[in-house]
Amino acid sequence: MPKLALRFSTQTLLLQLGVVLLVVLLSGTVHAWLVYGRIGTEAENQALTLARTVASDPALRSQVQAISNEPGTPPPAVLAAGPIQAAAEAARSRTGALFVVVTDETGLRLAHPDLVRLGERVSTDPSDALSGKEVTTRNTGTLGPSAGAKVPVFAPGSAGTGSAATVVGEVSVGYSMESLSQSLAKDIVPIAVTAAGSLVAGVLASFLLRRRLQRLTLGLEPEEISTLVHDQVAVLQGVDDGVIGISADGRITVFNAAARRLLGMPEGAGTPGSPAAAGSDWSGTDLAGTDWENAPVPAQLKALTQPSAHDAEAVEIVAGGRVLVANARKALHRKEDLGWVVMLRDRTELQQLTRQLDAVGTMSAALRAQRHEFANQLHTIAGFMSIGQHGQAKDYLARISATGPLKFPVQQAELLQDPYLQAFVGAKSVEADERGVALRIGPETLVREHVTEPQDVTTVLGNLIDNAVNAAVAGSSTQRWVELELLDEPGPDGGTLHIVVADSGDGLGGVEPERVFVEGFTTAEPAEGVIARAGGQGLGLALVRQLARRRGGDVRVLDPGSSGGPGAVFMATMPGVTGKPGDASLAESSAAAEPPAAERKEGHQ
């Protein structure tokens, strides 16, 4: 039967309990040893004091000297009844000592608690005391283990110091080690209480630490945490979607490389100056641990994590020259709030594809209309020929050749020499004409080179024309028109295309010109502005300005316009989007790969 493995938190608890128990036992043992040593030292000092007292008694000194001067040693019966035995026993009884022994100069007992041993030689070496030294001892004698002291007995009249002092005997005093153990037992109670309290505190702290560890690790084992970390790194760095994790306390815990790329941040940094960090003074090298409210990310992302925000509600933003769809979800684990997860998806390519499909549809509609017109022209020629009016047929063909077989409803279209601009503006003119707006080319238009970046040009030009047409339709003027002027400026790294678009609308209506370029602004609610939702309005001008600035150009308002017309005038500058006539093949190949894109209709900003 396989042995069940303990959980890591349980192993940690047991290890902590073992360490606490070991520390308490070692501390208690050391404390007890120190106390025992202190009690033994006190007993030795007490024995030394008692021995000195007994040895300094003049009567005792005289009697010991008298016995020492006599030949031999008195019989035990005489010693037992003598004054030396009486004095020693009195001192022992009074102090509770184990023994008080008095000897002569040869080490024979003159006083001893056991009367049988009187007249015998002492069991421990008396040479140090008989040589005039005071010593403390811990040894085992005839009465058992003891802690005591030995003090010399000097002859009466002797100074007691120096070589002239005469030693006539010694006094040995001892206290039982058993009594020391009893004293230790009394002192050990506080030690035991302290050790028990320390053990209880350690156990309680270990349980609290175990609970905190389980809460921090969500009950996962180290192997599971390691696997999750590896999986997280693999997934976060391997997906194309941006992932931002915000903890429950409002700190960024995850900010993968895709999120930095989509938000236009330098790799591994959120330095000021990047599009996402505009207006922020944050200068760290890693967003992990940064307060979410102070992070250099668009305000629309922060709004998604507000308590009032709806879970999984999507928002469409422009960042780093890209159109992103973002949504946030609440992260929960076993009903525990872990914070928010914000997902970023790049919708730029989808937007481009949508614009291309719109352009294809616009061009198809325009070509169907022109095809119908061309078919009518052929029927007219056939009619002239069938009735024999060959001269009129010839004149009719000459007029068609002068104006072209396909005529877009755009005024002064001949000022556009680039075929790509002709086709795109012509398609836009068809749309404008269907809405009752005349699209005309301004007299200052002069484009000598060919478009080499059709996608960027149509993104900017299409948005500006669509906004102008919408403004003209919504304006109060009876004459609805949009005027477009284009001028190219040759350069060593590609020419710069200047675009000016004016309309007959009612202008910006008092709105600050710079405000129309704010992400999410639209005239759908001119007083407040709205935040664009997925598939909504409010991204056109913000997108084209970022696109132009990414190329080193800009989009700005030249004239905010006035009520009743004329309307606002916008100007776009796009460097590096035109080339020499010899580069026409590049424009044609780009056009073949990316059909002219008509930006989706935006409300006039």
Task: Report whether 539 contacts 599 (CB < 8 A).
Answer: no
Mean pLDDT, residues 84-94: 89
Please state, in angstroms and rounded to a whole number, the distance separating the CA atoms of residues 261 and 451.
29
Residue 11's alpha-carbon distances to 209, 217, 222, 340, in angstroms, are 12, 15, 12, 33
Question: Which tokens sit at 207?
Answer: 């349980």
pLDDT of 596 over the 50 cut: no
Query: What confidence tens digit (pLDDT) does each residue in 276-287 have?
Result: 333 344 434 467
Please state, in angstroms and rounded to a whole number, the distance separating the CA atoms of residues 328 and 334.
19
The share of the chain scoring above pLDDT 70, in percent, equals 74
For residue 145, name the pLDDT band (cuts at 50, 70, 90): confident
Please state, in angstroms and rounded to a whole number, the distance separating the CA atoms of residues 558 and 570.
6
Task: Report whether 151 contacts 55 (CB < 8 A).
Answer: yes
- Pairing state of beta strands 242-246 and 252-255? antiparallel
Task: Report whether 48 contacts 234 (CB < 8 A).
Answer: no
Classified as helix, coil or strand, 9 is: helix
For residue 355, name the pLDDT band (cuts at 50, 70, 90): low
pLDDT of 206 over the 70 cut: yes
Mean pLDDT, residues 356-381: 69
Hunting for tokens 């047991």 — which residue is that?
Answer: 14
The pLDDT value given to residue 299: 78
Give 249: exposed, middle or buried? Use CB within 10 Å, 0-12, 13-18, 19+.
exposed
Residue 59's alpha-carbon distances to 67, 95, 157, 332, 434, in angstroms, are 12, 20, 12, 95, 145
Nearest to 504 by CA among 439, 410, 445: 439
Least confident of 56-65, 68-77, 314-323, 362-371: 362-371
Nearest to 48 by CA among 122, 137, 117: 137
Please state, in angstroms and rounded to a whole number, the distance separating the CA atoms of residues 204 and 39.
34
Least confident of 28-37, 164-173, 594-603: 594-603
DSSP track, 27-96: HHHHHHHHHHHHHHHHHHHHHHHHHHHHHT-HHHHHHHHHHHHSSS---HHHHHHSHHHHHHHHHHHHHT
Task: Specify the higher pLDDT residue, 143 or 33.
Answer: 33
Please state, in angstroms and rounded to a whole number, the distance separating the CA atoms of residues 282 and 262.
18
The pLDDT value given to residue 34: 80
Task: Report whether 597 contacts 359 (CB < 8 A).
Answer: yes
DSSP track, 221-256: -HHHHHHHHHHHHHHHHH-SSEEEEE-TTSBEEEE-
Please state, in angstroms and rounded to a whole number, the distance separating the CA atoms of residues 227 and 224.
5
Task: Specify the higher pLDDT residue, 602 or 331.
Answer: 331
Query: What confidence tens digit (pLDDT) does each residue in 300-330 have?
Result: 788 888 876 665 567 777 776 677 888 888 8
Segment of 180-189, 320-329, 438-447 carrying the highest mean pLDDT: 438-447
Element (H, E) at 404: none
CA dihedral 259, 264, 267, 268 (to 10 degrees): -60
The pLDDT value given to residue 5: 56
Query: What confidence tens digit (pLDDT) does each residue in 446-470 have?
Result: 888 888 887 788 888 888 998 899 9
Question: Which tokens sit at 444?
Answer: 């200052």
Please state, in angstroms and rounded to a whole number, the distance separating the CA atoms of residues 216 and 180.
52
Least confident of 66-70, 93-97, 275-279, 549-553: 275-279
For residue 600, name the pLDDT band (cuts at 50, 70, 90): very low
Quote the mean pLDDT of the chain: 76
- Pairing state of beta strands 438-441 and 410-411? parallel
Mean pLDDT, residues 27-31: 79
Least confident of 365-369, 441-445, 563-567: 365-369
Please state, in angstroms and rounded to a whole number, the distance separating the CA atoms of residues 249 and 533.
27
For residue 484, name the pLDDT band (cuts at 50, 70, 90): very high
Task: Specify the higher pLDDT residue, 36 or 246.
Answer: 246
Question: Which tokens sit at 334?
Answer: 């076993």
Please state, in angstroms and rounded to a whole number, the distance separating the CA atoms of residues 357 and 136.
110
The pLDDT value given to residue 121: 87
Which phi and psi angles does 493 have, rounded to 5°? -110, 30
Query: What confidence tens digit (pLDDT) does each residue in 216-271 have?
Result: 777 777 777 777 777 666 666 667 778 888 888 888 888 888 888 888 776 544 43
pLDDT of 4 over the 50 cut: no
For residue 499, name the pLDDT band (cuts at 50, 70, 90): very high
Radius of gyration of the chain (CA): 54
Mean pLDDT, residues 98-105: 89
Segment of 126-140, 359-373, 488-502 carrying the highest mean pLDDT: 488-502
For residue 401, name the pLDDT band (cuts at 50, 70, 90): low
Nearest to 487 by CA among 448, 536, 540, 437: 448
pLDDT of 498 over the 90 cut: yes
The pLDDT value given to residue 592: 41
